[in-house]
Amino acid sequence: MQKTKIEKIKAIQILDSRGNPTIETTVMLTCGATGKAQVPSGASTGKFEAYEKRDGEDAYLGKGVIDACRCVNTEINDLLKNKNAEDQFEIDLLMCRHDGTENKSRLGANAILSVSIAAAKAVSNAYGIPLYRYLGGKNARTLPIPLLNIINGGAHADNGLDIQEFMICPVGAKSFTGAMRMSMEIYGNLKSILREDELSISVGDEGGFAPQFQDAEEALQYIVRAIEFAGYKPGKDVFIALDIAASEWQNNDGYLLPKSKKEYSTQDLIDYYKALIQKYPIISIEDPLHEEDFEGFSAIRQQTGIQIVGDDLFVTNPKRLKIGIEKRAANAILVKPNQIGTLSETLTAIEMAKSAGMSAILSHRSGDTPDTAIADIAVATNCNQIKSGAPARGERIAKYNRLIAIENEIGSGGIYGNLLH
Ligand code: PGA
Ligand code: ZN
């Protein structure tokens, strides 16, 4: 009997870190092994993302996923019963074909992704090997550099900051565990100085602080001070990465920052970033411009020379990434499995990016769960970087703790990632 044949698939509705409904799916194999996956959900979602199916009725404020669970328990269960869960690309393709839409809107990308990842976990459990080893083989041994979002703004916090994420990037660490030590110390120092200055230490969706700063520069100055207070050198041991999430700012031909009400043309915005890069140790900017401006991304990449990351621009979609590679729009892609809706398309996007000499950054969503699949995918693909929020909040820490555990498991064979750009 084939060990990894699918016996049954069962989805239930659970809640994510924002308290919104999401899907937890269990794939059961004939050998008795099971795999479980919980799906995250974004707030500043890109308009080209695969479709997240929600009930839209009064119950659960319209956010229920009961129907998506029903799709898993009926149609997808019937479709995949007796299929070999090891044939990841085939089962993903079968689900996509059965859905029949371009953006997975009939069954829901949340429904499809939950099955896709649970199937991979079930196989890894059936063979008694960790997920990163199952997906990546013996070569899977790079621990990613974490990008930790320690100050939250934009759609993730109700403070006055227009920029969504201010992250620290501990490139100078010798190991992932060492990177988390540095990050914890910087985060703790930031907390102390905010408290001393009577600023709020309550946290936003991704665990970063969300005080009422005047502007982005004030946030950057606090981060630089926190790095120094922790005993590290900004621009050597630790850099800063930003996620602008600029699609949220798009307004007619230009940009209107929703909180400060400032207006910018594309070139003004590029000049603003260049000025920030001159003054602060910024090594990476994600979504500096809106999600359709491939040309603008390309200009900013050339003019700044730092890491320019496409999130809403690419939405983990190999087709959009192909355009981006042709136009040399960015030198890194943010990888969120739920933007595209299957594990195989996620792996394809990573592979494509790496073959084009780009970096791939595995990423959580602002609404997340304790699921740690992205940590294993990051190691499996040797992808060098991961972002999973601040060193705070259980659903964020779960991914970092998983990476600490993997680093211990791999032992001296492990390598701590490096930045390509
Ligand atoms: P989201 O934000 O999960 O709310 O989309 C994360 C990001 O923009 O990177
Ligand atoms: Zn983003």
Confidence check: pLDDT of 373 > 70: yes
For residue 205, give the ligand 1 atom closest to its CA. Answer: 4
* Catalytic residue list: 206, 336
- Asked if residue 55 has its Cβ within 6 Å of ligand 1, the reply is no
Q: How far is the CA of 45 from the centre of ligand 1 (A)?
A: 6
Tokens, residue 332: 């890194």
User: Where are the extended beta strands (E) located within 118-196?
Assistant: 142-143, 145-152, 165-169
- Asked if residue 18 has its Cβ within 6 Å of ligand 1, the reply is no
Give the rounded percent of residues in the chain with a pLDDT score beyond 70: 99
Identify the bridge partners of residue 143 per DSSP, sorted by sequence position.
Answer: 416
Query: What predicted TM-score, i.e. pTM, was given to this entire model?
Result: 0.97
pLDDT digits (tens, 9 = 90+) for 69-90: 999 999 999 999 999 999 999 9
Q: How far is the CA of 148 from the centre of ligand 2 (A)?
A: 13
Alpha-carbon distance of 166 to 221, in angstroms, equals: 11
Please calculate the CA angle 6-22-129 and round it to the nearest 5 degrees: 40
| pLDDT value at residue 1 | 66
Measured from the alpha carbon of residue 311, the closest ligand is 2
pLDDT digits (tens, 9 = 90+) for 263-294: 999 999 999 999 999 999 999 999 999 999 99
Q: How far is the CA of 106 from the centre of ligand 1 (A)?
A: 24
pLDDT digits (tens, 9 = 90+) for 118-174: 999 999 999 999 999 999 999 999 999 999 999 999 998 889 999 999 999 999 999
Question: Which residues have CB under 8 Å from 30's CB, separation 6+?
Answer: 1, 2, 3, 4, 5, 6, 7
- Amino acid letter for position 249: W
Residue whose C-alpha is closest to residue 369's, from 393, 348, 401: 393
Measured from the alpha carbon of residue 47, the closest ligand is 1
Confidence check: pLDDT of 420 > 70: no
Structure-token match 């792996």, residue found? 347
Give the rounded percent of residues in the chain with a pLDDT score beyond 90: 96
For residue 43, give the ligand 1 atom closest to its CA. Answer: 4
